[in-house]
Structure 1
Amino acid sequence: MRNRLSKSFFPLIIFFLFSLSLGSLYIKNIGPKSVGDYDMHFYNTYILATGQFNDNFKSDLENHNMKKMVFVGPENFLNLNGADYGYEGKILSPLEKDPNWQEQLDSYNISNGSTRHLVRTQYPPLNWIFQAIGLKIGMLLHQSPFHAWQMARVANFCGFITIMILAIVIIPRGKWVLTAVGIFPISVFLASSMSGDAINISISALLVAYIMHLRFSSQQYQIIKLSQIIKLMGLVLIIFNLKVAYVPMLVIIFLIPNKFYSLKKKIISVGIASLLGLLMYWLWSSKFGTVLLGFADLPQNILFVKEHLITALFSVIIFTLNIPFYFIAGLSTGGAVGVLGFITIIFAILLIIQTISVNYQSININVSKLSERIMLYLPIMLGLLAFLGVMMLTSFALLTTWTKVYPGGVGKTFGMTDIQGLQARYLVPLMPLIALIYGVSKDFIVTAKNSISEN
């Protein structure tokens, strides 16, 4: 452990300095209600902190009759006065005071009478676990609503930092990749806000770090420990209970060599954890879950997609492959959204180029057999497969629930390839996959040969 900490010293110092400095600026200058989907993040945090999950739902007439969970709470805690969906410009301007700051501050001084609210429970509550802990502590300490919500932000930030530190420490190679992802402005902003996206970023980094740890451990030890299998199964369960769109990332588990963690053990242990995760997700979604709607008639849109399923699948594939160009072209539209999308994709591209250049000697190896070439470049192939799987699943969900493609009805009808709603922040939990490039090594070709000969 001491050796890991010594190797992680400089990445951790940089991570601490940049994340704490930038995060402090966001917490100090940006209002707690200035974040995308603010109502979902605030209200899910509140019902988790107060234990108000229930099966009482009502249609939200102002949001396409979307089914939402009913809960009650004090108005000074839960009003949305001064709230702002437009967070992109605030990410780019951490030194500027939020123009909605004073209005948000004043909103906590209104009547504390109990009122009924509706919340979109689109994702499992684990996404807001740190925020709920911070809010609960603030409430138990009888803090003002403003300070209680600020404590929720601080708790989210602390949870993010803790998990990222763990990931940076345990990953044997690629520490600077995780450091770069951890201090990227979108990551820090989400972590210092009420957003549930932060835990998806940090857990993604931890998954990649642990897979890389096990992959390189196979060079020193003959067989995986039971405790390591249990930890891996725990990570699988956690990922199923965050944003389910990131589940395809679990394919990178197959980077752990079979001689160390046999295919049979992988299928049994990961299969059990996945089935439990699916069961937990199904139980939660069937009893408490709601679906995000971008238009009024979801069943009609789903029916249209089903009737044109082949076209829809090809549209999703084409859209996914064009994602880099989608964000690059967004710069021409102007505004903070386009600029942030452009910065995000350029950052990812530069990080990939830098990682390849640093690990170029390991990548640029002459191998004659196709099987050896596949084994050598398996980390890159599985990383790419994970990226495509996540983005295709995300794109299909956006096509079905957020892009009106059926003709007629109310609102604009879009073409199948004109998928709406993709945001730059969706890419950030996938960035830790870039560290898998460091998993390319000729040592694993030898491992494969030995494994074949032993069998």
Structure 2
Amino acid sequence: MIRTRRPSRPSRCNRERSWPGAVACLLMFLTIVCTSATMMVQNVGPLTMPDPDMHVFASWALATGQSRNPIEPRVDRNGNTLRKQPITGPVAVLGRGSHMRNALLSDILYDEEQQIVIPQDKALTKQRRALTAAMAQDVVTVRSARANQYFPIAYAPQATGIRLALSKNLSLWDALTWGRIANLTTFVAICCIAIMFAGRWRWAFLIAAANPMSVFCASSLMADSTLIALGLLIGSLTVYAAQRGGAGRPVPAPILVVAGLVTIVLASVKIVYVPLIIPLLLLPNRTVIWWRKLMLTVSVLAAVSALAFWWSQYQYVAPSPRTDLAWNQQWMLAHPWEVVITIGINLLMYTWRVPFDEMFPYLAPIVLAYILTGRGQRHDADININASNATAARGPVATAWRWLTTHTMTISLILVYGLSMGATFGALMLTWTKGSTFTHGIASIGGFQGRYLWPLLGMLPLPWLDAGMHKKIDDIRKPAQSESSAVTTADAAPTALAMPTTPVETAAPVETAEDETSSQLATTDQHTTQQPVSSTIPAARLAEKPAEQPSRKSAAKPAKSANQSTPRKKKNRKRRR
């Protein structure tokens, strides 16, 4: 039985060589993020962002302990029951005089008319004046807030900064600025951990994390920065686990625990990001033991289900105007296949529309960075040939199974994007699509924003990881195959080249030690001269020692009778006498 040698861990020198690259990547990331975030904080007001009535209100509610305020159900003109949560706070932050600006990220980051990157906010002066005025502390209660739309844990960094500023009696402008800095600090810390675990993919993760859209979300009060950072973190943990699996080492239990906690936090904010845990569950059993996969799956699903059930009693669902939630839900449950077709076509339509969309300049560099990083991880041609030859004789079922088992990461990438984006479009179909369009062809689902894709960018290396894993595994198996083939060739060699197996005639027993020694030398010389050694004998055959033939030393020794004794024994007998 031939045992395959377990691949050794990387040497200390190789591990030390990787540290300079990681440190350089982190320094580059910190330089880019701090520089761009400083410009954004100076040029953009704290109340300018997409959906400020949701992010600002939720941050203020959590900072002041109002996240558990009682819910006031209301019925709108379409018959939808909405769970409104009243929030009390300063007029300059929550009132109509706060000069909030609801704008798209593309409009905030680039001014097409003046052709300026990160232009000065149009409402910056008004917001500063309102937040620093003497009347800014006037209290108002807002009953139409959206503070309970997302789970409060998404606003923990912003609320921490605001709470610290309020405890020091700072102005409202400084309080919101502290919230922005705390959000940025949390984003940078999580992204640094993700870059450290990404290995050779660290530079691609740097571009995804230092993207202007990611940095703006982190430098504002938006909760999307936390989702983006956690999405990159679970992607880097998947990369780390796959690389360890390719090296023949199992994944440590703390990595799985952290991945499960990150998935629970992501799903508590947006349940559409639950599929991010799928790649870890599809890793081979040699990388992640099956019972650990089972425990991870059960614990994540149980925690997410419990949080979703509890939060559904307080969550605010924001429908678009002229949308009947009850009618849409009834129609979607009665026509499941039509819903699947509608979601699939809208996904394709969005894919075709991306090159002409305003999000393409921000998304293209990230995808290009992943492609350039993974260009060296490919299957060798001989590996593909061996795989096809091994499966050709087994039939199409075995061939399909071989393809599935060697492309698990690619399949998991398709599942992650398909399920996450499908669930996102399904939620938008329920809440943002007019029901009358369902019965007149394929409905166009609106309300999708490009930043919903950013938490999924950490999964883009999966296809190249798949190739790298199986390439390493095949490289490990090659030495074992070569050894087995060498042994087989040696066994099939002609018998003329084999070593003699006939026993050598031994000399007769003698009485004295001198005669015995001379007979042994004579027998050894005779055995040496009668045994020809061919230069054509394989090295593998010469290295072997068959069990049935005696060695030279044992063959040269004469057989001893029961009464024969060695010279030492004779001397001992004489001494005893």
Change (3 A) 1:27 1:361: farther
Deviations 1:117-174 (A, max 9, x none): 1322221111111111111111111110011001111111111111000000012231
Distance 1:450 1:68 in 2: 61
Instruction: Name the structure 2 match of 1:107.
Output: 130
Q: State yes or no: 1:43 paired with 2:57.
A: yes
Deviations 1:37-88 (A, max 9, x none): 1110011111111111223224386998743211212223323532122132
Partner of 1:8: helix, strand, or coil? helix
Instruction: Name the structure 1 match of 2:216.
Output: 189
Q: How does 1:353-372 map onto structure 2 within 5 Å?
A: 353-360=371-378, 366=384, 367-368=387-388, 369=391, 370=399, 371-372=401-402
Distance 1:69 1:78 in 2: 13
Distance 1:128 1:362 in 2: 47
Match 2:89 to one of 73, 78, 81: 73
Instruction: Name the structure 2 match of 1:335.
Output: none
Number of equivalences: 437
Distance 2:77 2:176 in 1: 26
Which stretches in structure 1 are left out of the alignment for 5+ residues? 332-337
Pairwise CA distance, 1:419 = 0.7
Question: Bigger shift: 416-425 or 293-302?
Answer: 293-302
Change (3 A) 1:418 1:216: same
* Contact map agreement 1:236 1:274 (CA 8 A) in 2: no
Match 1:404 to one of 434, 437, 447: 434
Partner of 1:293: helix, strand, or coil? coil
Instruction: Name the structure 2 match of 1:342.
Output: 360
Q: Which amino acid aligns with 1:405?
A: G
Partner of 2:467: helix, strand, or coil? coil
Distance 1:449 1:439 in 2: 15
Distance 1:112 1:362 in 2: 68
Instruction: Name the structure 1 match of 2:103.
Output: 86
Distance 2:207 2:81 in 1: 42
Partner of 1:258: helix, strand, or coil? coil
Question: Bigger shift: 266-275 or 385-394?
Answer: 266-275
Distance 1:396 1:196 in 2: 22
Pairwise CA distance, 1:20 = 1.2
Pairwise CA distance, 1:324 = 2.0
Pairwise CA distance, 1:283 = 0.8
Q: State yes or no: 1:432 paired with 2:458.
A: yes
Instruction: Name the structure 2 match of 1:55.
Output: 70
Runs of 4+ in 1 over 6 A off after TM superposition: 60-65, 448-451
Deviations 1:369-425 (A, max 9, x none): 4444333332222112211111110011111101113269xxxx9864411011111
Q: State yes or no: 1:304 paired with 2:331.
A: yes
Partner of 1:289: helix, strand, or coil? coil
Change (3 A) 1:342 1:40: same
Distance 1:364 1:98 in 2: 59
* Contact map agreement 1:372 1:445 (CA 8 A) in 2: no
* Contact map agreement 2:26 2:195 (CA 8 A) in 1: yes
Distance 1:171 1:75 in 2: 45
Q: How does 1:12-411 map onto structure 2 within 5 Å?
A: 12-52=26-66, 53-59=68-74, 66-80=82-96, 81-87=98-104, 88-92=106-110, 93-108=116-131, 109=133, 110-117=135-142, 118-120=144-146, 121-219=148-246, 222-286=249-313, 288-296=314-322, 297-328=324-355, 331=356, 338-339=357-358, 341-360=359-378, 366=384, 367-368=387-388, 369=391, 370=399, 371-406=401-436
Distance 2:295 2:189 in 1: 30
Pairwise CA distance, 1:247 = 1.2
Pairwise CA distance, 1:179 = 0.6
Q: Which amino acid aligns with 1:294?
A: S
Pairwise CA distance, 1:253 = 1.3
Deviations 1:208-235 (A, max 9, x none): 1112212222355754444333323322
* Contact map agreement 1:399 1:416 (CA 8 A) in 2: no
CA RMSD of aligned residues (A): 2.9
Question: Bigger shift: 69-78 or 168-177?
Answer: 69-78
Distance 1:363 1:383 in 2: 24
Pairwise CA distance, 1:289 = 0.8
| TM-score normalised by the chain length of structure 1 | 0.87
Distance 2:77 2:39 in 1: 35
Question: Bigger shift: 442-451 or 227-236?
Answer: 442-451
| TM-score normalised by the chain length of structure 2 | 0.70
